[in-house]
A = this chain, B = another copy of it.
Amino acid sequence: MVSVDVVAVRFAVTEATPSVAIIRRDREPFAGELALPGVLLGRGERLYDAALRAITGKVGLPPEHIRGVGQLATFDEPLRDPRGPTLSLSMWAVVDPAAPVDTASWFAFGQVPHLAFDHGPILEVARAALAGLLWRDRTFTRAILGEEFSTARALALAEALSGSRPDRGNLNRMLRSMPGLQQAEAAVRSGGPGRPYQPWVWT
């Protein structure tokens, strides 16, 4: 038996940090407990499709709100599932924060409660892996930050994934030197006090 477990993240402009989809299990084992959304891999099914199925089925989001999917690692501890030995192929996914209501709870990294199975360790591995993908993997970076983003959001994202907050000026310099990324001319007022920001836009 092979399950595909998904670390689905979103980063809404209305939220200070990215968050992860956690669902309450409605079936045994661990019925009623919290876990990552996951499905059993169907025969001949692709990992990408299984991840989509986990998000649409367990989180309740239509597939067009999924902006990126990728592999993480395989967890093979034989006792990880009380039903018997099961492999977990873990995947990451980025979903559109402007998505309709869903059936998941969303937690910031680091505030996720205890999870069923070995999903706690899986989540930790995922966070470290995503920290490595940020800025290096254009697909992931663009998916989670969106088409236009402020340096402040880039700062918050990097801090949430890596655990330490980069220097604002240094991050700006890095973004400036990044191919395929440009700084908009027009400044945008954020609403509160402070200087307006110049959004970063992908080309």
Contacts and interface: CB of A to CB of B under 8 A. Distances in A.
Contacts of A84: 43-44
A98 interface: no
Interface of A is mostly: loop
A120 to B, nearest CB: 19
Contact of A71 (B44, B73, B85): B73
Contacts of A47: 74, 76
Q: How many copies make up the complex?
A: 2
Given A71-B73, A73-B71, A78 B44 contact: yes
A32 B56 CA distance: 44
A74 B71 contact: yes
Interface in A64-116: 71, 73-74, 76-78, 84-85, 87, 89
A41 B2 CA distance: 11
A173 interface: no
Contacts of A46: 76-78
A77 B44 CA distance: 8
B44 A87 contact: no
Contacts of A44: 78, 84-85
Contact of A89 (B45, B74, B78): B74
> Which of A46, A73, A74, A84 is packed against the most chain B CB atoms within 10 Å?
A74
Given A45-B78, A71-B73, 12 more contacts: A2-B2, A43-B84, A43-B85, A44-B84, A44-B85, A45-B85, A46-B77, A46-B78, A47-B74, A47-B76, A71-B74, A74-B74
